[in-house]
């Protein structure tokens, strides 16, 4: 975890934002998100929206983002479906048939790169691409399995085990559905969504970002994906990851910065300083044995606790300390 003496919106040219848990939850806006992003734009930061959701087209996704108060156009959106389509186009001749086990967003992405979407194994597709879609049928997954068993290239838009369900427990995601074809055929798919590199590469190609900042709420997709791509990241605590999970994050899932919400784009981030066996950040000090003293922004205390926990390997004690602070 690093510090920045300038607001992040001044340091990075493009914020690559996850959606659910960052800008909205379900179809409800995250409080303060629209205002923070408007101010970041006013300071010159460009916004891009990267999602593992392959069911919606970029236009439909942009409409939803705009609906919650953040103006967006289709060209601002990068999806795992587009990343999957690029992987296919790089491996197949133009006009090749691709069996699409997914929805409208995936079919549009395949067609946009000059490939031909089909729906049955009898059409002898060169590849099968799978992405989550509501109402995805057993029959279509069975067709995909037949084609993969016959030798078709197998690509998956993402491997998310679950997807959010407003007001209830998470539902099975594409990663769970991919196991149907994988188990039936013994073939592992090429996965293109976060945290794998194809979606990160697609985002950089489409935005032309020189110094992107990946912004998300999930350690195992957004933050790990940023680390895989060699980019800096901001974890916001408005979605699925809480402070306790962050304190226990393995190295591959540790963010560059952490903030309560997207207002973290607009402010400097104090550096965690080490001195005399203690960790200092803002007005807080974490001393030996995880003793905590100080006052001010509690995120500064969390930053210091994170570094202390990660360097000591004692996340459990750090979590207990954070629970008492909370």
Closest CA to 286 of 261, 264, 311: 311
Dist CA 251 CA 287 (whole Å): 22
Alpha carbons 92 and 45: distance in angstroms, whole number: 36
For residue 18, indicate whether it is catalytic: yes
Task: Find tokens 């995880």 and name the residue.
Answer: 290
What CA–CA distance (Å, rounded) separates 309 from 291? 12
Question: Of residues 5, 13, 20, 232, which has the active-site annotation?
Answer: 20
Q: Which of 202, 208, 226 is nearest to 13 (CA)?
A: 208
The closest alpha carbon to 286, from 242, 246, 318, 251, belongs to 318
One-letter-per-residue 3-state SS of 296-325: CCHHHHHHHHHHHHHHHCCHHHHHHHHHHH
List CB contacts of 39: < 8 A, sequence separation 6 or more.
Answer: 9, 265, 266
* 210 Cα distance to chain centroid: 19
From the candidates 18, 76, 160, 300, give the one annotated as an active-site residue: 18
Q: Could you list the beta-strand ranges (E) of 44-180.
A: 46-51, 77-79, 97-101, 116-118, 127-130, 153-156, 162-163, 171-172
Query: Annotated catalytic sites, by residue?
Result: 18, 20
């Amino acid at each position: 975890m690093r510090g920045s003496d300038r607001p992040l919106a001044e340091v990075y040219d493009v914020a690559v934002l996850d959606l659910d848990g960052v800008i909205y939850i379900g179809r409800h806006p995250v409080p303060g998100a629209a205002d923070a992003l408007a101010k970041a734009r006013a300071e010159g930061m460009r916004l891009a929206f990267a999602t593992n959701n392959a069911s919606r087209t970029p236009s439909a996704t942009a409409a939803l983002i705009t609906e919650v108060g953040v103006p967006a156009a289709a060209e601002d959106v990068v999806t795992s479906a587009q990343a999957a389509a690029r992987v296919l186009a790089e491996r197949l001749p133009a006009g090749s048939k691709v069996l699409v086990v997914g929805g409208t967003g995936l079919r549009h992405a395949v067609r946009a790169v000059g490939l031909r979407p089909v729906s049955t194994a009898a059409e002898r597709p060169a590849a099968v691409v799978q992405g989550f879609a509501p109402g995805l049928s057993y029959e279509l997954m069975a067709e995909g399995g037949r084609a993969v068993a016959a030798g078709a290239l197998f690509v998956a838009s993402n491997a998310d085990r679950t997807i959010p369900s407003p007001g209830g427990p998470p539902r099975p995601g594409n990663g769970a559905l991919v196991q149907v074809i994988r188990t039936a055929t013994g073939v592992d798919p090429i996965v293109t969504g976060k945290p794998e590199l194809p979606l990160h590469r697609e985002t950089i190609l489409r935005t032309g970002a020189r110094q992107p900042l990946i912004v998300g709420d999930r350690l195992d997709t957004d933050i790990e994906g940023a680390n895989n791509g060699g980019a800096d990241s901001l974890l916001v605590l408005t979605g699925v990851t809480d402070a306790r999970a962050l304190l226990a994050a393995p190295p591959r899932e540790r963010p560059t910065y952490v903030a309560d919400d997207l207002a973290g784009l607009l402010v400097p981030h104090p550096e965690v300083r080490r001195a005399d066996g203690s960790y200092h950040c803002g007005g807080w000090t974490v001393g030996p044995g995880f003793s905590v003293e100080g006052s001010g922004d509690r995120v500064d205390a969390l930053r210091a606790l994170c570094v202390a926990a990660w360097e000591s390997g004692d996340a459990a004690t750090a979590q207990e300390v954070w629970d008492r602070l909370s």
